Chains A and B, each alone.
Chain A
């Protein structure tokens, strides 16, 4: 089955800095790569996703890049703010018909004012 590795496990930045979280996946058949944000006391929520036919996608201060050859994808957050502090999960999915996701172990991002 699919295996998703995520690094780093914790990341501390100063407000205004950029943050980068990286993930690798094992199954070349995976074609959908979402990122979820989990705030304290809440369930994860989708913030951005990318499909395998696209190399990069942006949404305001967040962007995701995908390198299919190397089987890795990254989340980039620019101009970080304290409200970006949360746990971030990457995931990968094959088009199996069941929409199941394999998640990475998560990155706790702490943005200090």
Chain B
């Protein structure tokens, strides 16, 4: 079974802090994605990566950056956390030959 793990299920940070959300997949997938999920807004794509060190902006990249130094690991970085970044963050991965995305359990981030 494909497994996508996220470093924390719950995280509380203060405004202005630098926040790292980590995601690891164990199936050698080429593509990795970061989404945020908010009530009534569904899943919105923040960034994705199709290869090591490669990244592409999604629909809502402002306030976020990403890093992919190894194929299995994709990090989401909030340079200076703000209260409007309080949300559920979901990581996903997919093989290069398929559209199917495999999701992690999510990290619920609260910024106070």
**How long is the Cα–Cα vector from A102 to B45 in the complex, in angstroms?**
8
B99 touches A45 (CB 8 A): no
- Chain B CB count within 10 A is highest, among A9, A32, A34, A44, for A44
Q: Does any Cβ of B come within 8 Å of A61's Cβ?
A: no
Contact assessment for A43 and B100 in the assembled complex, using a CB-CB cutoff below 8 Å: no
A-side interface mostly: loop
Q: Which size bracket describes the interface of B in this complex?
A: 20 to 34
A100 on interface, CB distance cutoff 8 Å: yes
A60 contact set on B, CB distance < 8 A: none
When C-beta atoms are compared, the residue in chain A nearest to B105 turns out to be A43
* Contact present for A44 and B99 (CB under 8 Å): no
Count of chain A residues near B, Cβ 8 A: 25
Residues 70 to 101 of chain A near chain B (Cβ within 8 Å)? 89, 93, 97-101
Residue A54 at the chain B interface, CB threshold 8 Å: no
- When distances are taken between beta carbons in the complex, the residues of chain A under 8 Å from B106 are 42-43
CA distance in complex: A41, B108 (Å): 10
Tell me the A39-63 residues at the B interface (CB within 8 Å): 41-46, 49
Measured CB to CB, the closest approach of chain A to B14, in angstroms, equals: 26
Choice from A44, A45, A46, A98 contacting B31 with Cβ under 8 Å = A98
A43 and B103 form a contact (CB under 8 A): yes
- Whether the pair B43, A100 counts as a contact (CB closer than 8 A) is no
Q: Are B101 and A99 in contact (CB under 8 A)?
A: yes
Kindly identify which residue among A42, A45, A103 contacts B42, using a CB–CB cutoff of 8 Å.
A103
Q: For the complex, give the distance between the alpha carbons of A40 and B40 in Å.
A: 16
CB distance from B86 to the nearest CB of A (A): 18
Q: Does A105 contact B (CB under 8 A)?
A: yes
B64 interface residue (CB < 8 Å to A):
no
Residues of A at under 8 Å CB distance from B?
1, 6, 9, 32, 34, 36, 41-46, 49, 89, 93, 97-106
